[in-house]
Structure 1
Amino acid sequence: MSECLFCRNAYKDVPSWFSVLLNQKREPICERCLSQLKPLEGNRCQICSRQLMETNRFKDVCFDCYRWEQQSATRLLLNENHSLYHYNGFMKELLATYKYRGDAMMATFFAPKLLALYEKKFRGFQVMSIPLSQERLQERTFNQTELLLQNWPQDCICLHLKRKNREKQSKKTRQNRIRSFGDNPFELDANIFLAEKLNKIVLVDDIYTTGTTLRQAAKTLKQAGAKQVVSLTIAR
């Protein structure tokens, strides 16, 4: 018997012939939890990976990204985002458990999947996790986005991005998050100018909601010399 990394219930870890023949490692979660993770598939926004439907799109981008790109202050800040899963009810509860209830072990499931996506899409880019303010770090005792970089190649990771103390984004409404774009909570270490090897940067975060946080971080990096900023998140 094994214990599911997500729900903590015991389950029988019975490998299939398919996984044995291909020497595939079994996922450390039960079938019930695995079935509730919904990978992003199909026709998606070329910028943020949101699944496109006739009611939420303008050509090949979603309405949110279209609006971001129509404003001179936010155009081309975030070149693209790739996410692993839909932000459904199960994922919402999962990330709340991970972020706010201290279940840091969940990062061991997502970290290798984000690394595989990084190696497929952005190998050679430098990587920065979205930082917490000192106040939030003291509350949670760990930075959930830094843990998503577990076992990544250390030579691609740099942690120069810092966060000021601000109101939590999770407490704001969708519209208030977007309106607060000008109040940028991010800064770089003093006297840091991004050298040529930092021209291309991948931001790693747990969730893409409105894109405000990632674009604020991207703005800070581009003002310091970055040429291209993209992002990877668990959920969209």
Structure 2
Amino acid sequence: MICLICSSSFSEKASWRKLLLIKEPDVICEKCLSKFEKMKDRESENEWKGTIYDGALDSVQSIYIYNEWMKQVFQQYKFQLDVDLAKIFVSDFQLLNKVQELIVPIPLHPEMLLMRTFSQVDQLLIAANVPFTHVLAKTLNRSQVGKSKKDRMSSELFFSVTTDVQNKNILLVDDLYTTGTTLHHAAYALKKSGAQRVIAVTLIRA
């Protein structure tokens, strides 16, 4: 096998799960795999308390820490358009097949999608064979990089809801959680449109 990250040759470890086709084949070597750090339980910040977004997002969990290694891999995936890297996280996202909520990926703005050629969030779910439904449309294409937390919180709403979500329980999926602005904006739009509960999972948390 050839590692998708470092391109070195490696031998895949045998296991009963693989023999029974329960586990996907390895796509990266042990050395590269060992550099990823799983996210431990972390209390949610109360920085949204007192804003209009307070209570919009019921909970959020992240899978990995945004360490230097993940930053490098993420840049290669998202900005160098290395779509195959989504296969690295198949086993992490396959767990979503067990949830009861409607799985909704955070969308890209149409202009950004045209520039990037693929949605990085959609591709993570596609690689893991997880069914999802688009119910959100990104209405603003403004970068939040360099903005203060206060500016991000008070910015215009990013999303519109395009499908009936009345009384639905929704699981939002995104790639990176930094201040939580994107997810809170999305959850707020969904709750305003009648969603009952909105939780979220992200690949990485900064």
Q: Identify the TM-score tier after normalising by the shorter chain.
A: 0.7 to 0.9
Q: CA RMSD in A?
A: 2.1
**Structure 1 stretches of 5 or more lacking a match?**
48-64
Aligned amino acid, residue 195 of structure 1: Q
Match of 2:42 in 1: 44
**Structure 2 stretches of 5 or more lacking a match?**
none
Residue 119 of structure 1 and its aligned partner are, at CA, apart by 4.3
- Structure 2: how far apart are the matches of 1:137 and 1:44? 32
- Structure 1: how far apart are the matches of 2:33 and 2:2? 13
CA gap 1:194/1:35 in 2 versus in 1, 3 angstroms = same
String of CA shifts for 1:92-114, please: whole Å, max 9, x gaps.
Answer: 11111111111011112224412
Q: Which has the higher helix share?
A: 1
- Structure 1: how far apart are the matches of 2:161 and 2:24? 39
Q: How does 1:96-107 map to 2 (within 5 A)?
A: 96-107=75-86
Q: How does 1:30-109 map to 2 (within 5 A)?
A: 30-41=29-40, 43-45=41-43, 47=44, 65-68=45-48, 70-109=49-88
Match of 2:189 in 1: 220
Of the three residues 153, 161, 169, the one matched with 1:188 is: 161
Which 4+ runs in 1 deviate beyond 2 A? 19-27, 151-154
CA gap 1:25/1:114 in 2 versus in 1, 3 angstroms = closer
Q: Could you say which structure has the greater relative contact order, defined with CA pairs below 8 angstroms and 6 or more residues apart? A: 2
Report if the CA contact (8 A) 2:94-2:130 is conserved: no
Match of 1:59 in 2: none
Report if the CA contact (8 A) 1:214-1:231 is conserved: yes
Match of 1:56 in 2: none
- Structure 2: how far apart are the matches of 1:21 and 1:220? 41
Report if the CA contact (8 A) 1:163-1:186 is conserved: yes
Aligned amino acid, residue 109 of structure 2: S
Match of 1:53 in 2: none
> Percent identity of the aligned residues?
30
Of the three residues 210, 220, 228, the one matched with 2:179 is: 210
TM-score by length of 2: 0.87
The number of residue pairs the alignment matches comes to 200
Match of 2:110 in 1: 134
Residue 10 of structure 1 and its aligned partner are, at CA, apart by 1.8
CA gap 1:21/1:76 in 2 versus in 1, 3 angstroms = closer
Secondary structure, aligned partner of 2:47: helix
